[in-house]
Amino acid sequence: PILYYASNPHWISAVLKPGEDVVSLEVPFTSLPESIGNLSEKDTSLDGKKFGFPILQQRIVANKKFLESNPVAKRWFELVEIPIVDINAESLRIKEGEDTPEDILRHAQEWIKNNQQIYDSWLETAREAKVE
């Protein structure tokens, strides 16, 4: 057994798989400094487990003016959801040396090919967006 601290997504979760190889430690309640904000148990829990710290969310950020001028891109950004296991796998590939811009592009193209149906549905839905 080992004890380690890591956030997720992280490459280690592609090696030691949560729920299979890893048992997450839980806390009975959330107690954080006021400087972090008024966070509830909902903000610090995931899949029914109380972790006691804010759950990280991966999201796309973009310039407001860009989004206003590009409603299709804005809608696409809202739709995209890459599964955490895929993010962890990508992180591991980068850690193992597949880290050049060409590698990253190839990884993205492979992901699209393996997830073509959902990718195409995101594009189709996004293209329906109109300029406000």
Domains contained in the chain, CATH given: 1-57 (no CATH), 64-126 (3.40.190.10)
Instruction: Report H helices in 21-126.
Output: 64-69, 71-79, 84-95, 101-114, 116-126
> What average pLDDT does this structure show over 42-71?
89
Q: Is the whole model's pTM more than 0.85, yes or no?
A: no
Judge whether residue 109 has pLDDT over 70. Answer: yes
Question: Is the alpha carbon torsion for 70, 73, 79, 82 positive or negative?
Answer: negative
> What average pLDDT does this structure show over 96-100?
98
- Confidence grade of residue 24 (pLDDT, cut at 50, 70, 90): confident
How far apart are the C-alpha atoms of 32 and 30, rounded to whole Å? 6
Question: Is the alpha carbon torsion for 81, 85, 88, 89 positive or negative?
Answer: negative
φ and ψ at residue 49, rounded to 5 degrees: -105, 135
